[in-house]
Structure 1
Amino acid sequence: MPVKTCGGLPAVQTLTEENIFVMTSERAVSQDIRPLRIAILNLMPTKVATETQLLRLIGNTPLQVETTFLCTATYQSQNTQLSYLKTFYQTFADVQSQQFDGLLVTGAPVETKEFAEVQYWEELTKILAWAETNVYASLFICWGAQAALHTYYGLEKHPLKKKLFGIFPHSVLQPKNKLVRGFDDTFFAPHSRHTTVFTEDVHAIEDLEVLSVSKEAGLYLAASKDGRKVFVTGHSEYDDLTLDNEYRRDLEAGKNPSLPRNYYPDNDSSRAPTVCWRSHANLLFSNWLNYFVYQETPFDIEKLPEKTKARQPCNF
């Protein structure tokens, strides 16, 4: 089934060439079905690449999904032209009176800063507060997950001694949870971050369940017990060469980066990496969209039930 998005979005051509079913808004209105409305707050500097990665996964499900890309109003990405953002993106002010079945919040290259030091932090906390009543289910990625865990539950992020960078094996702790349905006992996912949230801190929150961890990478997947908040600390959406691009960017900048772990065959950066996380990524997104959004959200999107309240004081 298709993912519905703007016809001129650059990702559309790439996804069409990959045989991902992308439907234009004009065609979708002729179908007698209500698509899922998913808002995507894209905080990544590489807007087009992230759009493509997320739409590829969203479009590989048996559901029609209408996506709305959001950007911050208080900070404009230096890597994306304003004309592009005005064409394909909206801000919180444009959508705050609307309801959505789902919200995706990406990572962002700001994790070494304190939360309050991030230029758009106040705007982000307003969006997270709005999501409590205007969004049925939310999925947060990497720094987005850290920010949401801090905002909703007061959890802190902690600096790592060394950047966590590479592909790491993970274990499933709650195999009966529908979010990990179909996962192998051990699966792989990319990570690229300088900070972490301690697994024991998440365990201490009554409203949260830890679903997957890694011996090397720590906490990977957690969710609220009502399933309406999902936190992913890694980047399952990454393409085959995303880590390679990050490594070479830092190398050219003179940062002397370490090779991404478990990525290049025989740790030889001249060889193309072998993708070992794609099937897990597709399962994660299809399970979330099917079991946590489509099967649960009301048909009348304006009648969203109230979310389970966080057990810790929120920082709204």
Structure 2
Amino acid sequence: MSGRVLVLGGTAEARQLAGRLVAAGADVLSSLAGRVADPLLPPGEVRVGGFGGVAGLTAALAGGPRPVAVVVDATHPFAATMTAHAAAAAAATGTPLLRLHRPGWTAGPGDDWRWVDTLEQAAAAVAGYRCPFVTTGRQGLAAFARLTAPCLVRSVDPPAPPLPPRATVVLDRGPFTVAGERALMVAHGVDVVVTKDSGGPMTAAKLTAARELGVPVVLVRRPPLPPGVPVVTTVEEALAWLAREGTAALPEGPRRAASGTRTQGDDVAAHPPAPERM
């Protein structure tokens, strides 16, 4: 098989994969949701905006002068709707689909992590603290709107209401440093951090800073992945999978790389193994 590779997502892994494929001469289309005002763009051809649900994505895979030969879903671990749409559209069209799913974070000695399943549960868990540091993204802030204490909210773009009434909003984009996160938390008197189990190094510094300061962290578990779709956790593994699928113009290194592919539904960072700590 050869043809166009559709890379879904604006994650760091999606950009890295697109860059490797473009450098190797592959036909790549990257698709971004368009939820960030000034996204970091990958190399190669890029489209921004939704497909129009499963039906729209199915039509995009099946039609056009340059039909898609294979899809790599490299969206954010919490982009559950897009991941479900990709699985449904790929199944409907018979298009090979791979999930590139970065590993979740793992607690270490000295970490005080409390796991919850939803943003609403996270908001309830921090309701009694003096100053929560909310880093769950701007789209879920409505869950925290009833917090009455001062809180620190960080977002890439300005969040829309409703917001916590005493929120201080910091607009910033990672990667962040441990020193910077520690200074920010000390300056605002943060006594609990709220985040999603996004994984990756871009925003992990706050976890180290929280440990050093003795501050607990409330983490929202990842949504489950659709079953039956192969899963890899690194760009190298994704390139190796594409090579095995026969996608044209891949570098020789990934063609020789060992397989790390699993299937969605396996224990690949879908949930932490324990209810309170990893």
- Answer yes or no: same fold by TM over 0.5: no
Q: Which is richer in strand?
A: 1
Q: Report which structure shows greater RCO (CA 8 Å, sep ≥6).
A: 2
- The structure having more radius of gyration, on CA atoms, is 2
TM-score range, shorter chain: 0.3 to 0.5
* TM-score of the aligned structures, taking structure 2 as reference length: 0.35
